[in-house]
């Protein structure tokens, strides 16, 4: 049994029939208490007592007492509807004789048995690269999550790509801006800026790049094992299958025109017309020469670009840090070229919570890099839904909807919050209730002043602080 709306903190105070009550929560996770039958393993028990007795009572002794009656008291303090939702999870109502896709079910515990506070039908806000088609070619592969099969994701689409050492994502541009993070390995990227000057750079794990709409670029995996990276586009309709590629465009230009364009002999361009009809996309090539050699070649042409299309997030100190995690915010304030995308790289330690918050300026597209977490998105009008996330999954939160992300695993949870916006911006529930007249908050939520005063008067981003 799990009643996540109580959170993991024992000693939560609430009011019932005019009396303040204290609820203690005890997990029977490992069955260490031999007096408990095996079938009660993983049971979570709620103990209710008058709040003022908290300090007078030996908590250990109290937890040793019978809890059945007390559990009923806990439910009695909730609305009829919530009582029914909780009871349904305790009796035969929630049993499921099957059939069932066990693997999918087990990966989504908060969908199979939602928190009783979840309610109503909402559009799916979770997806995964692990169920996306992989286009595999010599040199690497790509897969994408776009609005086509993830309808809520109107503002952003994502691509996950792997390139071998020497493997090339061919020279191309597209009708959307491209933000990227290197997940594994290293790559050499090239681009052409608005002044027609070339850019070339080698990037490693946790480094970023940004190519504005229409800026041509390429990516090539470096030895020893190439790379894997995530691309984020500022348009939900973006598709990797619809980009302007150099081998595609030239192959579909009459040879005499191309020869006239460059002032070269038509016969010297024969290899272009031997290529595939839709361009090369990804292909295996020799690893590139030393970076200094590529840079020297640029300098002897129009000169190297003065625009930095890259950002070394791997060397960036945390923007915010607490006991339970850290956040790095990268947007146009520190990564000038990234004018249409803002990012937060979030690490939440086991037991930590990316606090309840919302974003005023844009939808949030999430990519889960590692770990295990859950997110509840509050859709207003009584609607809320909780979903589970693992590495490789994608989440989406429409603009202004309240949400949190909780680490439910035993390793660090690492994910990206991406926004189609020049700046990262959020507001938190904590800063809302602590920067509003306290008496007004008390009148709304019934929270005593003494409890309100314990809430951090700022925005920690990751809690507990």
Can you give the binding site for Mn ion, defined by CB under 5 A? 178, 364
If the CB atoms of residues 193 and 364 are measured against Mn ion, the closer one turns out to be 364
CA distance 375 to 377: 6
Smallest distance, Å, CB 10 to Mn ion? 28
Smallest distance, Å, CB 200 to Mn ion? 16
Burial group, residue 298, by CB count within 10 angstroms (0-12, 13-18, 19+): middle
| Residue 63: CA count within 13 A, CB half-sphere | 17
DSSP single-letter state for residue 92: G
List residues bridging with 201 in a β-sheet.
189
Smallest distance, Å, CB 419 to Mn ion? 9
Which of 119, 117, 116 is CA-nearest to residue 89?
A: 116
User: From residue 103, how far is each of 123, 243, 295, 389 by CA, in Å?
Assistant: 22, 36, 50, 14
Of 155, 406, 417, 431, which one is the catalytic site residue?
A: 417
Does the annotation count 417 as an active-site position? Answer: yes
Q: Which two tokens stand for residue 376?
A: 């509840």
Packing angle between helix 68-76 and helix 80-90, nearest 10 degrees?
Answer: 140
DSSP single-letter state for residue 288: P
Smallest distance, Å, CB 259 to Mn ion? 28
Q: How far apart are the first and last CA of the chain?
A: 28
Smallest distance, Å, CB 239 to Mn ion? 11
SS (H, E, C) 246-285: HHHHHHCCCHHHHHHHHCCCHHHHHHHHHCCCCCCCEEEC
If the CB atoms of residues 422 and 438 are measured against Mn ion, the closer one turns out to be 422
Q: Which two tokens stand for residue 463?
A: 């809690």
If the CB atoms of residues 52 and 123 are measured against Mn ion, the closer one turns out to be 123
If the CB atoms of residues 85 and 342 are measured against Mn ion, the closer one turns out to be 342
Smallest distance, Å, CB 170 to Mn ion? 10
If the CB atoms of residues 119 and 174 are measured against Mn ion, the closer one turns out to be 174
Residue 19, Ramachandran bin (φ over 0: left; ψ between -120 and 50: alpha; else beta): beta
Which of 431, 425, 418, 433 is CA-nearest to residue 180?
A: 418
If the CB atoms of residues 46 and 211 are measured against Mn ion, the closer one turns out to be 211
CA distance 329 to 327: 6
| Residue 128: CA count within 13 A, CB half-sphere | 13
Sequence-separated (6 or more) residues with CB below 8 Å from residue 37: none
Q: How many residues does the chain have?
A: 465
If the CB atoms of residues 83 and 339 are measured against Mn ion, the closer one turns out to be 339
Catalytic site positions? 417
């Amino acid at each position: 049994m799990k009643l996540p709306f109580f959170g993991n903190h024992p000693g939560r105070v609430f009011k019932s029939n005019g009396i303040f009550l204290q609820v203690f929560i005890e997990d029977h996770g490992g069955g260490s208490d031999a007096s408990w039958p095996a079938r009660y393993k993983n049971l979570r028990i709620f103990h209710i007592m008058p709040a003022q007795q908290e300090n007078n009572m030996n908590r250990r002794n109290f937890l040793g007492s019978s809890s059945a009656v007390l559990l009923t008291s806990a439910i009695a303090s909730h609305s009829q509807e919530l009582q029914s939702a909780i009871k349904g999870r305790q009796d035969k109502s929630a049993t499921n004789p099957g059939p069932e896709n066990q693997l999918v079910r087990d990966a989504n515990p908060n969908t199979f048995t939602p928190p009783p506070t979840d309610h109503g039908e909402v559009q799916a806000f979770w997806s995964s690269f692990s169920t996306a088609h992989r286009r595999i070619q010599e040199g690497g592969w790509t897969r994408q999550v776009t609005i086509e099969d993830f309808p809520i994701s109107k503002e952003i689409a994502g691509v996950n790509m792997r390139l071998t050492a020497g493997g090339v994502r061919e020279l191309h541009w597209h009708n959307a801006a491209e933000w990227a993070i290197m997940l594994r390995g290293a790559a050499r990227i090239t681009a052409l800026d608005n002044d027609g000057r070339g850019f070339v750079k080698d990037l490693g794990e946790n480094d970023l790049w940004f190519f504005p709409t229409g800026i041509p670029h390429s990516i090539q995996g470096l030895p020893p094992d190439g790379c894997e990276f995530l691309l984020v586009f500022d348009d939900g309709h973006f598709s990797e299958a619809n980009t302007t590629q150099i081998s595609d465009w030239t192959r579909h230009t009459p040879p005499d025109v191309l020869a006239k364009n460059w002032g070269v002999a038509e016969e010297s361009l024969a290899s272009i017309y031997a290529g595939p009809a839709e361009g090369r996309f990804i292909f295996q090539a020799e690893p590139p020469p030393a970076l200094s050699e590529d840079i020297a070649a640029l300098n002897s042409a129009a000169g190297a670009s003065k625009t930095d299309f890259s950002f070394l997030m791997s060397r960036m100190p945390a923007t915010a840090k607490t006991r339970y995690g850290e956040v790095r915010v990268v947007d146009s304030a520190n990564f000038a070229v990234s004018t249409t995308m803002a990012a937060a790289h979030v690490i939440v330690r086991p037991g930590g919570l990316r606090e309840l918050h919302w974003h005023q300026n844009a939808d949030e597209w999430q990519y889960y890099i590692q770990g295990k977490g859950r997110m509840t998105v509050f859709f207003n009008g009584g609607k809320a839904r909780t979903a589970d996330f693992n590495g490789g999954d994608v989440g989406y939160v429409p603009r202004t909807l309240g949400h949190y992300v909780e680490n439910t695993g035993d390793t660090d949870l690492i994910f990206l919050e991406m926004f189609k916006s020049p700046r990262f911006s959020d507001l938190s529930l904590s800063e809302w209730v602590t920067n509003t007249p306290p008496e007004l908050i008390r009148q709304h939520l019934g929270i005593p002043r003494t409890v309100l005063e314990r809430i951090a008067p700022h925005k920690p981003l990751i809690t507990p602080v």
